[in-house]
Amino acid sequence: MISQNQEMRMRQRLTRQQVLVSRLLGLSSENLEQEIKNEVEENPFLEEVIEDTTTSSQSDNDSDPDTAELIDPNNEYYTHSSYDYDDYRSARNRSDESDGTIFQQADDTSFQTSLLEQLQLRPLTERQMTIGTELIGNIDESGYIARSIGVIVDDLAIRRYLETTEDEVEEVLQIIQSFEPAGVGARNLQECLSIQLHRKDDTDSDAVTLANATAVVDKHFDDFANRRFEKICRLLDISEKELQKAVEMIRALNPRPCDGGNSAAQTIIPDFYITRQGDQLAMSINERNLPKLRKDTDFIERLQNEASRQNASQQRETQKFIDKHTDDADVFISAVEQRYHTLHLVMSVIIKRQHDYFISGDIADLKPMLQKDIAKDTGLDISTVSRVVNQKYAHTEHGVILLKDLFSTAMASDDGSDVTTKAIKEELKRIVENEDKTRPFSDQQLQELLQQKGFTMARRTVAKYRELLEIPTARLRKEL
């Protein structure tokens, strides 16, 4: 039987501005700059404000981190109520020589470009040149062939209409493997090391050591990777001292021959700057490249005047265009402003909780802190806090830190105080770095040493932390 019912439901829907703010919060300063540029290009009513150069000196003084608002750790809240979007300007406008903004410079020349140039210098046929180009295109940023020869043969047939064989591709690959840097074009680590050893000159190296190192890599690589040194000495009939020289030669080779040669190398641009004056901290948000925005009221007035001379239909279309883009401009400007307030609020609470760490830079002073703690202190949703700290960096006097590294769970120490799991991992890392590599500590021994430091935990917990730190087992850490 068909019937009609009436019911009342409550639904929570995000406004357009809330969605935009959430998206902007997840962007770094660098990505936000590009987002603003895109919005200015798409919205004809948004324009960048050109700062008056005659007042730039005063603006620089206002925005220098050294004169930023001091954060007193005794204050209950860190707020920045005096912020006005009309005063939206760079918080870090210093010379390139001193700002330390870019912490890794990318190389302008791609390693693949270098390989192609070397390929052009070889007397190759057109077929070989096509195969070589395809092979170089399949070399990853570390210098290794990323795909199997069989798959590359299929790609040549499908994409370049070139019927070839694995033997023919292998022949061209050997030519590429003779290029610089040594080891490029290898299919695995063993082949990479072998190429470099075979390129060494006996006159420049100890011939016996070179022969032993080559034999280790070519014939006993699995035993070498698993630190079965006694077995290698027995099979090669060499002494432990001779093997040690060979191992030192192998470890001097480059396992990633093209590492660092990729022009796509990432740069780190801090989103926050934290400075100290005594026991007080000053925090500023990096907005040095963010343009100040406003609505182009002159253009809007011109359109409205033009609409007054149009017929009714054209007036409606013009007014719809004005209303839409005006509203979009207001929403975007407000969203950028709200992003600033949210970043400032969250970072201020983080600094309050981790005040001792920012002063000393010692990880032992890092207090247990979760994102839900920041959400509780700020009154924000935990998802908002997550967006604020995601992939964002802070520049401190102790170096550049990833904000997510400030968050850690707690574990009780023997004296009853809470310590962060990061402090435990740091201590574990320090113990392993200082151990006798000829007799590395087992997980049981590591547990006992950590317990002596006041960290009580199970052996399996120590093993878990060791794996998270990518520290191999004792057998794989063993050296001669």
What's the whole-number average pLDDT of the chain?
80
Q: Which CATH number fits domain 409-477: 1.10.10.60, 2.40.10.10, 3.40.50.10490, 2.60.40.10?
A: 1.10.10.60
Using CA atoms, how far residue 400 sits from 54, 358, 390, 403, 405, in Å, is 33, 11, 15, 9, 11
Question: Of 99, 113, 50, whose CA–CA distance to 262 is shortest?
Answer: 113
What's the pLDDT score for residue 291?
A: 75
Average pLDDT over residues 86-110: 40
Using CA atoms, how far residue 212 sits from 205, 224, 239, 421, 463, in Å, is 12, 12, 11, 44, 35
Omega before residue 181 within 30° of 0, cis? yes
Whether 7 shows a pLDDT value over 80: the answer reads no
pLDDT, tens digit, 9 for 90 and up, residues 296-326:
888 888 888 888 888 888 888 888 888 888 8
Whether 422 shows a pLDDT value over 80: the answer reads no
What's the pLDDT score for residue 225?
A: 87
pLDDT-based confidence at 204, cuts 50/70/90?
Answer: low
pLDDT, tens digit, 9 for 90 and up, residues 117-172:
999 989 999 999 999 999 998 998 889 998 899 999 998 988 888 999 999 999 99
Residue 406 burial by Cβ neighbours in a 10 Å radius (0-12, 13-18, 19+): buried
Whether 186 shows a pLDDT value over 60: the answer reads yes
- The span from the first CA to the last CA of the chain, in angstroms, equals 86
| Sequence-separated (6 or more) residues with CB below 8 Å from residue 129 | 119
Average pLDDT over residues 413-417: 54
What's the pLDDT score for residue 414?
A: 55
This prediction has a pTM of 0.53
Average pLDDT over residues 173-192: 93
Q: How far apart are CA 216 and CA 207, in angstroms?
A: 14
pLDDT, tens digit, 9 for 90 and up, residues 255-292:
988 875 444 445 678 899 999 888 889 999 887 777 78
Give the residue range(s) of CATH 1.10.10.60 domains in the chain.
409-477
Which DSSP symbol is given to 105?
Answer: P
What's the pLDDT score for residue 75?
A: 44
What's the pLDDT score for residue 216?
A: 94
Do the beta carbons of residue 149 and residue 173 sit within 8 Å? Answer: yes
Do the beta carbons of residue 271 and residue 285 sit within 8 Å? Answer: yes
**Percentage of the chain surpassing pLDDT 90?**
26
